Amino acid sequence: MSIVFDQKSSTLSLHTRNSSYQMQIGPLGYLLHTYYGRRCEDFFDYLHLPRDCGFSPNPYTLREGRGFSLDTLPQEYSGSNGADFRLSSLELRTDSGVVGADLHYVSHRILQGKYRLSGLPSSFGDMAETLSVTLADAASGLEVELLYGVFEERDIITRAVRLHNCGTQTVCLEKVASVCLDLPFGPWDRIHFHGRHTMERQPERVPVANGIQTVSSARGASSHQHNPFVILCEPDATEDHGECCGVMLCYSGDHQTDVELDQTGSVRLTAGIGERHFSWRLNPGESFDTPEAFLCFSSEGLTVLSQRYHRFILQNLCRSEWIAWPRPVLLNSWEANYFSFDEDALLRLAREAKDLGVEFFVLDDGWFGHRDDDLSSLGDWYVNPGKLPHGLSALIDRVNDLGLKFGLWVEPEMISEDSDLYRAHPDWALSVPGRQPAISRDQLVLDLSRPEVADWVYETLSTLLRENNIEYIKWDMNRSLSDLYSSSLPPDRQGEVAHRYVLGLYSVLDRITAAYPDVLFEGCAGGGGRFDAGMLAYCPQIWCSDNTDPIARLQIHQGSSYGYPPCTMGAHVSASPNHQTGRSTPFGTRAVVAMAGTFGYELDPAALSPEERAEIRKQIALFHSCSDLLLTGDYYRLTKEGAPYTAWQTVSQDRRRTLVSLVLKTTEGNPKPLHLRFKGLIAEGRYRLAWQRNYGFAGLPGTAESSESTAHEFSGAALMYGGYTFPRIHGDYPSVQLCFELLQDSSADS
């Protein structure tokens, strides 16, 4: 069993293949966290010695001993307004004025299978086990059920909290963390992923310093600015060495992760719904579920941590049938036409796409209402007759007749003031009474906290999908939430709007993806403004960034890869000079970078040269030849700190095939040799350089397409330990891809 209770020591142990997580029922029923690290069957209560620390109070019953203080001991789920002055996991206030919580163990249950959450996405798995631990606060009547899902083979432990009001008065929740993690012995570094629109998920690594450090979003979405994923690691941890602990929140709204280094040298991390816009009134008999958090421990560095998250998300979180299917190559109309198009222009674009080998044609913004710019019509999801006089179905039929599947862009959470929907239902927009709302991109936000609004969104999308042969939906969201106020809620419940909005979003996504399982849904929020595990539960891919510049995308993709699978990252080849940065890059380099994600195109093929059109055909064929590898392979970051290049590698699960990609960001005169050591291969096996594609690299052995010579055979050990040296490089932003395959007669035991 992966969950074990030792009655003699009152210890609960959770074991995955390579990690152990442990807690003990301590004095007076306080639940103490004793260990999270490499798998070990021993008990670790001996690590936490009693101590009398000045100004750290003791429980009343143990006041004479003075050696037991919640302010100095690691706790499994911290209370508030008591003896612990560090980060709290739970803040509450009752109608009678009781503030805070003093939590004591009541009981626990070990269950087969994985728990489920109400209204929230959560992981799944037949082989998982559940631990449920109930704590109680006598003063408020609140029961706190700590939920743990143990995925032994995945090396993942999930956590969530369910609160039950078992008392006689209403409890106002002001903070409810999904996870509290105490790590008593350090030091630790913290890695988080910050950014902005068009520059998302930039990794930043800093030492955990004294005090409290916060990563949060109060924008109503997980945001471009701060992703809900944090890693704590040893200061000397690298890709291949050192202990690392990841905490990923499965939530798409306001979030907050706090890390505190306290007076004893202990580190506490709490993560959950963001506090700034949150409160929740829990009436007697009611329950409240928090979002789920995914914990992963690695003693082998950051790469192993990332790979475990990748497998877990692909196999135990996303429910879409598309998650296991090779992704089709699509052409999106946005950067080719923007708002300026008609039916003839779209059909010309579709014919060009088909000629190049594209499989999906996607019509982006501007097809509905009277929308010729971003000033109107959001909410009016009927065809713009000036652009599509024969209707949407007629256009789709003609696209299908070309041999292409059809996809459509929508932004169903938003509403324009200049729209029929707003004129009919102005109260459906989030807006504070007596105040003009903030305007972003000339649009307001539909109040999805209202069930009737969520139902309208579902029925509108369902009608579109039912009446038209749409096989792909790009679901966009192009502004942050502000003016949080719902006309359907009383004044004392306005603090629930932000969370109820996310619950409304999830209810629509849950229903629409279940009703149309064959449709490929791609999430988007101005690009990567809602790139999180919550959205990945419904969407097998998310548009990674509105920035399609391949050099900027290198860092966005690499930052995203620490927690999220590359095959979930929407990525396209776009025009050069790039529309966002003005930078010019080789056509091949743009494809190399896009192949680090889902791979597609966002340009006008008519503007390309015959050579570039021929190159697209080769790129698509190459992508299809590698699609299984890119979908299911293990991903390795090969970039060295301070290097002038970005490099990555994908290795098949059986380690018989690998694809290595490298893009040089800075070209120098008389450069130093460019050298990489590959990873993940069979040391005893012999690998053949099956093919290579190079753009600006001079003198690579063999042709640009393939290499058959036995002189280009290497042992796995040679490629991993000795490495591979690239020839001298020429031009701006050159790139190369190398594919190695294990020889069929290799004696290696895979």
Q: According to the model, what pLDDT value does residue 749 have?
A: 52
DSSP string, 416-465: -SSSHHHHH-GGGB---TTSPPP-BTTBEEB-TTSHHHHHHHHHHHHHHH
Nearest Cα neighbor of 618 from 652, 587, 649 is: 587
CATH code, 696: 2.60.40.1180
Phi, psi of 71, deg, nearest 5: -75, -15
- Domain identity same for 287 and 329: no
Whether residue 540 sits in one domain with residue 442: yes
On whether residue 50 sits in a domain, the answer given is yes
Identify whether 748 is part of a domain: no
pLDDT value of residue 711: 56
Whether 612 is a known active-site residue: answer: yes
3-state secondary structure of 466: helix
Q: Can you give the pLDDT at residue 747?
A: 58
Q: Which long-range contacts (CB under 8 A, 24 or more apart) does 606-615 make?
A: 606/348, 606/349, 606/352, 607/575, 612/587, 613/355, 613/356, 615/587, 615/588, 615/591
Number of other CB atoms surrounding residue 235 within 10 Å: 12
Q: Which range of residues forms the domain containing residue 688?
A: 638-742
Which of 292, 316, 340 is the C-terminal boundary of a domain? 316
Q: Are 566 and 595 in contact (CB under 8 A)?
A: no
Cβ–Cβ < 8 Å for 347, 353 = no
Query: Are 311 and 344 within one domain?
Result: no
Torsion of CA 54, 58, 60, 63, to 10 degrees: -60
Q: pTM of the prediction?
A: 0.97
Inter-residue contact 386 to 367 (CB < 8 Å)? no
307 and 330 share one domain: no
Q: Are 653 and 591 members of one domain?
A: no
The CATH number given to whatever domain includes residue 310 is 2.70.98.60
**Where is the domain boundary, 569, 603, 636?**
636
Torsion of CA 87, 92, 97, 99, to 10 degrees: -20
Catalytic residue among 335, 411, 532, 549: 532
Nearest to 552 by CA among 522, 529, 574: 574
- Confirm whether 361 is domain-assigned: yes
Please report, for the domain that includes residue 592, its CATH number: 3.20.20.70
CA distances from 181 to 30, 171, 268, 383, 666 (A): 15, 25, 6, 51, 41
pLDDT, residue 710, reads 44
Q: Is residue 374 part of a domain?
A: yes
Determine how many CB atoms are found less than 10 A away from the CB of residue 658: 26
Which pLDDT score, from 0 to 100, does residue 125 have? 95
Strands 634-637, 645-651: pairing is antiparallel
Together in a domain, 599 and 629: yes
**Helix intervals (H) in 25-158:** none
Rounded Cα distance between 332 and 347, Å, is 13
Alpha carbon of 329 to those of 227, 402, 428, 525, 732: distances in Å? 28, 15, 37, 21, 27
pLDDT, position 667: 85
Residues 623 and 683 reside in one and the same domain: no
Cα 688 to chain centroid, rounded: 35
Give the chain's domain count: 3
Determine, yes or no, domain membership for 715. Answer: yes
DSSP symbol at 678:
-
Question: Which of 612, 713, 732, 741 is flagged as catalytic?
Answer: 612
d(CA 409, CA 474): 5
Residue showing tokens 């101005």: 526
Task: Read off the tokens for 229.
Answer: 């994923």
Same domain, 608 and 688: no
**Which amino acid makes up residue 401?**
D
pLDDT at 703: 38
Q: How crowded is residue 106: how many other Cβ atoms within 10 Å of its Cβ? A: 13
User: Does residue 271 lie in a domain region?
Assistant: yes
Same domain, yes or no: 603 and 546: yes
Residue 560 lies in a domain: yes
How many separate helices (H) and strands (E) can be counted in the chain?
12, 39
In a domain, 223, yes or no: yes
- The series of mean pLDDT values per 10 residues for the chain, 750 residues long, is 94 98 96 97 85 88 86 96 96 96 98 97 96 98 98 98 98 98 94 98 98 98 98 98 98 98 96 98 98 98 98 98 94 97 98 98 98 97 96 98 98 98 98 96 97 98 98 98 97 98 98 98 98 98 98 98 98 97 96 97 96 96 96 96 95 98 90 93 97 76 41 92 88 94 72
Q: Which long-range contacts (CB under 8 A, 24 or more apart) does 644-651 make?
A: 644/668, 645/674, 646/554, 646/555, 646/558, 647/676, 648/558, 648/561, 648/596, 649/678, 649/679, 649/680, 650/566, 651/679, 651/680, 651/681
- In this structure, the answer to whether residues 400 and 439 fall within a common structural domain is yes
> 56 near 83, Cβ under 8 Å?
yes
Q: What is the pLDDT of residue 53?
A: 85
Cis peptide before 59, with omega less than 30 degrees from 0?
no
> Which backbone phi and psi does 714 adopt, to 5 degrees?
-140, 150
User: Residue 514 contacts by C-beta under 8 Å, 6 or more apart in sequence?
Assistant: none
Task: Please state, in angstroms and as integers, the Cα–Cα distance from residue 555 to each residue in 92, 194, 382, 579, following that order.
Answer: 41, 12, 38, 18
Give the end of a domain, one of 636, 670, 704.
636
**745 φ/ψ angles, rounded to the nearest 5 degrees:** -95, 10
At residue 281, the 3 state secondary structure works out as strand
Provide the pLDDT for residue 746.
Answer: 67
Strands (E), 26-71: 31-38
Total number of residues shown for the chain: 750
295 and 423 share one domain = no
DSSP state for residue 338 in the 8-state scheme: T
Domain co-membership, 352 together with 306: no
Q: What share of the chain is helix, strand, coil (3-state, %, to 5)?
A: 25, 30, 45
Helix, strand, or coil (residue 706)? coil
